[in-house]
Structure 1
Amino acid sequence: MKMLIASINIILVLSSIQCQNQSKNGYIEKNVNVNAQQTKIEKIELTEQTRGFHTVITFTPKSKTSVFNGEEKQSPMSSSDWERISQRAAAIDLSKVSTLEAPTSGRHSDQAMISTLIITSNGTTYTSANFDSGNPPKELKPLYDEFQRKQ
């Protein structure tokens, strides 16, 4: 009888340990999926404007579209270029992008074009505060520089 009770206790202990491990693994898998969803970048757009000049450059996984004073040009986007650009965007804390401060203020007196970055992720659009063209907030600089290389 003592052997039977000891055997049942061992079985119960082992089964509870196995259940805990399954629960932990399930939690880890859910976290990985949530993180992958959080960094899904759908579209990135850079607008730059001043009096008489307006340009919009839009990158999506499939194409690059440039609009200069109303004249539109579209070209295909390579998967490696999109991967590099979307990684730069995913590295930014999108919830704070609208509060990032520009290091200079030349746009207030037409010394520089007014620039804005717009990032769409998981159906939500995040718009940066305005900054001087060529001089974005430091948090946006890697993404902005990638845009400049792809123009």
Structure 2
Amino acid sequence: MKTLITLLNIILVVSSIQCQNQSKNGNIEKNVNVNTQKTKIEKIELTEQTRGFHTIMTFTPKSKTSSFNGEEKQSPMASSDWERITQQAAAIDLSKISTLEAPTTGRHSDQAMIANLMITSNGTTYTSASFDSGNPPKELKSLYDEFQRKQ
């Protein structure tokens, strides 16, 4: 009789664990879909500056604007380019972008231009911590490289 009760307890515990794991995985998948639907990138801007030089590249769904020391050039943005850029931006945890650590510190002594990325999503602008131009934090590298290809 004791073995029968023990066996039933084991079966109940195992079956309840299985149910909990399935529901947790289902929730994760639902959260990913909800987050993907909620994130709408409206504008992405890269600024790079040092003494005497200041560049700004701004991408929106319709246009690309480049500014070098105040001289501005604007061109239309191809929808395929915008799609690639927004995919890179959507992969970044925007709430943590300001805390990402730069791998180098050349900007502290004018060895490199100071760079910042600003991403506007759902009406909120998220600004990265400063990093050396050409050497962003690893979490921003794909997006930064995409900007460099579009110059």
Q: CA deviation at 1:102?
A: 0.1
- Other structure's SS at 2:142 match: helix
How far apart are the structure 2 equivalents of 1:65 and 1:103?
28
Structure 1 equivalent of residue 137 of structure 2: 137
Letter in 1 for 2:102: A
Q: CA deviation at 1:39?
A: 1.9
- Other structure's SS at 2:54 match: strand
Q: CA deviation at 1:34?
A: 3.7
Gaps of 5+ in 1: 1-26
Letter in 1 for 2:98: S
- Is 2:128 aligned against 1:128? yes
- Is 2:66 aligned against 1:72? no
Structure 2 equivalent of residue 59 of structure 1: 59
Over aligned residue pairs, what C-alpha RMSD do you find? 1.6
Total equivalences in the alignment: 123
Give the alignment's TM-score, normalised by structure 2. Answer: 0.78
Structure 2 equivalent of residue 10 of structure 1: none
Report percent identity of matched pairs: 87
Q: Encode CA deviations 1:104-125: one digit per residue, 9 max, x unaligned.
A: 0000000000000000000000
Structure 1 equivalent of residue 22 of structure 2: none
- Other structure's SS at 2:125 match: strand
- Other structure's SS at 1:64 match: strand
Structure 2 equivalent of residue 110 of structure 1: 110
Give the alignment's TM-score, normalised by structure 1. Answer: 0.78
- Is 2:110 aligned against 1:87? no
Please identify the structure whose Cα radius of gyration is greater: 1
Letter in 2 for 1:128: S
Range that drifts further, 31-40 or 64-73: 31-40
Letter in 1 for 2:112: A
Letter in 1 for 2:67: V
How far apart are the structure 2 equivalents of 1:91 and 1:123?
18
Letter in 1 for 2:111: Q
